[in-house]
Amino acid sequence: MKSTYLTSVFALIALLLSGCEKDFLDRPPKDVVDADYFFNTATDLEVATNDFYSMLPTTSVYTDDAASDNIVPLIAAERVRGGRIVPTTRGSGGWSWGRLRDINFFLQNYHRVPDEAAKRKYSGIARFFRAFFYFEKVQRFGDVPWYGKVLEAGDPDLYKARDSRKLVIDSVMADIDYAIEHIPAEVKLNRITKYTALLLKARIALYEGTFRKYHGLGDYEELLQQAASASEELINSGAYRLFTAGGPSEAYRELFARNNQDPTETILARDFDSELGQHNLGYLMTSPTQGAWGITKDVINSYLMKDGSRFTDKPGYETMEFYEEMQNRDPRLTQTTAGPDFKVYGEDSPEPVNLNGTTTGYRVIKALPSRDQWSAAYFDIIIFRYAEALLIYAEAKAEMGTLSQQDLDISINKLRDRVGMPHLDLAQANANPDPYLAGMYPSVDQGANKGVILEIRRERRLELFNEGHRWDDLMRWKEGKKLEQPMLGIYFSRLGAHDFNNDGTPDVYLHDGNASGAPKEVSTIINVQQRPLTNGDSGNLNPFQLGGYFDESRDYYYPIPIEDLKLNENLEQNPNWE
């Protein structure tokens, strides 16, 4: 059932007050009016917290990977190119605090309502959003000032220094624990519940625990334990399970491409409707002049063979052409990128091979909707889903050194069961760590669990591909230099015609300036002078020749705006952003 977010609390208050006879300038301050006139009923609390839902991401969930090593767009993101600069304007670059004031104002006044059940629930939701707000700030800036109250003019805390990362995270964890305790354990697709709070806690604790571990900040063990415990509680609740409709060859794609989410696996989703709310994701995923997203070759290489063996162990894997490399792989591969027999969602006939709308030749089809939504889309966007809890549980236990085969069987191997893949074996993974993955992640824990940690990272990258986690994963693992590894595309052994679906008819033709020899049947023609290959007339498509850049001494954090530093002399800029 579709639901629409309720009116913002402040918009509603404005309507309530519009009939007052007093001149606007003679009215009491807005905060005083809000508290006196608004915080009276449970409905008031619901309306107020509904305003906080605008803090949740929308399309950025499915676009953030295009600013990572997972996807190469037409124009590489600043953070991938190393092109970030110190912003000038106050409150820009993510250093904005307006929504925090709204949350703190609510928490300062909600107690006026006499309904105890409502106070418990909606104060829990408010503290969920404060935890969400501050988690994003810590991810972006590290140390930030903690404000647990509404600041008025003249309050000395307006110009306080940044509090330590550890103090802020302690406060965040207190907020999310309060939310878990006070929000009801309901299954509601478009509303924050106890289960949403459990997953957010697990996400925060895993991020911070691994960030501290790999950045040498210490005190990470308790956070990893909290990540494992929160995800385990969600798993044991039985409230959610993996979506399997359509079987191994269809379920994973169906989960994201369908119009309407349901609460089988999806814990929280953004609700869209063809009449009430649309977005542009279909357009970004298909337009050759806008997104033109292309999956990078090392993502494609990371998918296992159908029998569980490693693709990158196969002789000559680097020079396999498209049809061959797509055979007998993890079924998620061709539910994430267009395979040899790709069919548009909802259609029965294979789509002609089209490499014009993708920089690397590997099209993104995960969350690609039906053709009628390619200009204006209205499919729901998943924000939190159960699969993430399974991945968090396994990773936290592995990083603590307490992972067992049973742990894998209730987490990672459930994900593999969905697509009919063999189970991950703990002993085997640790006995034979994957050298291909080890080359991606040189900072990985070199202890006894190195092999299984690498395999969990493989699983996380592929399962959560294009869901906005990749950049944060690289940051917490201290693997920023991964962005400097080549971001390549499909391999071509030569110029000329290529048969992508092995039906005897050429689909793609490569030339170096003269396309006169192209067979009339081909659906894509590539001029390698415009879309170069790594070796001139052969090699991989190379859409990002300049390559990524990452400064280890600077780029794990964002800079604070210049005007904010001038207004508050107690603030210090992040290292090497001066």
User: Tokens in use for 151?
Assistant: 């600041």
- Long-range contacts (CB closer than 8 Å, 24 or more residues apart) made by 493-502: 493/319, 493/321, 493/538, 494/537, 494/538, 495/528, 495/537, 495/538, 497/522, 498/321, 498/322, 499/323, 500/322, 500/323, 500/340, 500/353, 501/323, 501/340, 501/341, 501/350, 501/353, 502/323, 502/340
Contact present, 237 and 383 (Cβ < 8 Å): no
The count of structural domains within the chain is: 2
Among the listed ranges 274-288, 416-430, 509-523, which one has the minimum average pLDDT value?
A: 274-288
Average pLDDT over residues 100-125: 97
Q: Check whether 19 has a pLDDT greater than 80.
A: no
What would the pLDDT profile of 196-219 be if each residue is shown by its tens digit?
Answer: 999 999 999 999 999 999 999 999
Q: Please state the rounded mean pLDDT for residues 166-189.
A: 98
Across the strands, what pairs with 541? 533
Per-residue pLDDT band for 275 (boundaries 50, 70, 90) equals: confident
> Can you give the pLDDT at residue 195?
98
Q: Is 73 left (phi over 0), alpha (psi -120 to 50) or beta?
A: beta
Structural domain ending residue among the three candidates 156, 183, 210: 183
The amino acid sitting at 23 is: D
Cα→Cα distances 389→73, 224, 541, Å: 29, 13, 36
Name which of 541, 445, 451 is nearest 493 in CA terms: 541
Residue 15 lies in a domain: no
Q: pLDDT digits over 422-445, tens only?
A: 999 999 999 999 999 999 999 999
Residue 363 lies in a domain: no
Mean pLDDT of 341-363: 96
pLDDT level of residue 357 (50, 70, 90 thresholds):
very high
CATH number at residue 135: 1.25.40.390
Q: Could you please report the per-residue DSSP string of 309-322?
A: --GGGSTTGGG--H
> pLDDT, tens digit, for every residue of 293-311?
999 999 999 999 999 999 9
- Model confidence at 41: pLDDT above 80: yes
* Residues of the domain holding 416: 385-485
pLDDT, position 34: 57
Task: Please identify, among 149, 183, 217, the residue that sits at the C-terminal boundary of a domain.
Answer: 183
Half-sphere exposure of 469 (CA within 13 A, CB side): 23
**The residue type at 389:** A
Please choose, from the candidates 263, 119, 122, the residue with its C-alpha nearest in 3D space to the C-alpha of residue 195: 263
Has residue 37 been placed in a domain? no
Domain limit, last residue, from 183, 204, 228: 183
- What per-residue confidence (pLDDT) applies to 17? 35
Average pLDDT, the chain: 93
CA distance 23 to 25: 6
pLDDT for res 398 = 98
| Confidence category of residue 276, pLDDT binned at 50, 70, 90 | confident
pTM: 0.94
Domain assignment of residue 284, yes or no: no
